[in-house]
Structure 1
Amino acid sequence: MSKISIVAAVADNYAIGKSNKLPWYLPADLKHFKEITIGHTVLMGKRTFESLPNGPLPYRKNIVLTSMLSDGVEEGYYESDSIEDALQLCENECHIFIIGGGAVYKQTMDIANSLYITWVHADFQADAFFPSIDFNVWKETERQDFEPDEKNLFAYSFVKYEKI
């Protein structure tokens, strides 16, 4: 069975997006995201996919959840109309990363084995939120804390959680 991980950048108030964009710009988080997901499968909702500035993420198998199926394979990504069917497309993959958005995170929290959360230490206005994390179910296993700098204007932490 594949390992399923959720990757998200989440504000202290659980905000993850506004108008289909991240409410902040943290280059260190973008680099961290790339390092974690490169060479693996990424699974995302249609709006998350549409928010990618350059289309499918390179060097990753991209699967997009959508109720309006087309033939995206020629465009460098796969489509699925359910989490279950999407996971069938990944049955030979050893690690699958769920990368958003809010509804997809909510649907996959129960099946995920681990969470890679970049906590952005600020509150933001948002229209998309990460589901609450039940810390009776998730145990913190790794943490790196960072102060703001000239490129990353907010304090942030890279935290990994494993399901207990």
Structure 2
Amino acid sequence: MLAALWAEDLQGIIGKDQTLPWHLPNDLKYFKEMTIGKTIVMGRTTFEGMGSRPLPNRQTIVLTRNPDYQAEGVTVMHSVDDVLAYAKTKEEPTMIIGGAVVFQDFLPYYDLLYRTVIEEKFSGDTYFPSLEWQDWELVSSIPGVTDEQNVYSHRFETYRRK
């Protein structure tokens, strides 16, 4: 099973200059809860933007076209097919976490979508790819708590492919 996990603003922006354009601790907590103990897949640029180190208590796959790329503590794969074959061996969903090119490459294969919608408009340079929303069923939409630490209204949505 394959799932995408991302946060976006009202314009579909997911990044700016290889980082998140917002600070939202609730979403970071959600990300951790959704990925702990699971396999996460990201592109090389996303991995390097996170400091080139794997996240604790997760199996990390870095997807790159560079056949010579190596990084400590991660599994390097070179094709969508490699990741799909690996995901079929797992009971838990394999979580695709970015960036935009990797999200795009896996669009036909997602079974689940986990999207955080931040009810603001930010400046950014990276967008989540367009989805055919009629192919997806909203399973849940849970409002996030807004407080001094989490100043942006947000919600956590789960979709299942129809």
Tell me the TM-score normalised to structure 2 length. 0.93
Q: Please, which moves more after superposition, 64-73 or 99-108?
A: 64-73
**1:149 equivalenced with 2:141 (yes/no):** no
The DSSP-based 3-state class of the residue aligned with 2:109 is: coil
Q: CA deviation at 1:126?
A: 1.1
Counterpart mapping for 1:22-41 below 5 A: 22-41=20-39
Q: Within 2, Cα distance between the matches of 1:124 and 1:83?
A: 31
The DSSP-based 3-state class of the residue aligned with 1:136 is: helix
Partner of 1:125: 123
The amino acid that maps onto 1:20 is Q
Q: Within 1, Cα distance between the matches of 2:133 and 2:88?
A: 29
Q: Within 2, Cα distance between the matches of 1:71 and 1:51?
A: 15
The DSSP-based 3-state class of the residue aligned with 1:64 is: strand
Partner of 2:41: 43
Unaligned regions of 5+ residues in structure 1, if any?
Answer: none
Q: CA deviation at 1:71?
A: 6.2
Unaligned regions of 5+ residues in structure 2, if any?
Answer: none
Q: Within 2, Cα distance between the matches of 1:24 and 1:71?
A: 30
Q: CA deviation at 1:101?
A: 0.5
**1:92 equivalenced with 2:89 (yes/no):** yes
Q: Is the 8 A contact 1:145 1:156 kept in 2?
A: yes
Aligned residues: 161
Q: CA deviation at 1:69?
A: 3.2
CA RMSD of aligned residues (A): 1.5
Tell me the TM-score normalised to structure 1 length. 0.92
Partner of 2:15: 17
Q: Is the 8 A contact 1:70 1:79 kept in 2?
A: no
Q: Within 1, Cα distance between the matches of 2:120 and 2:46?
A: 22
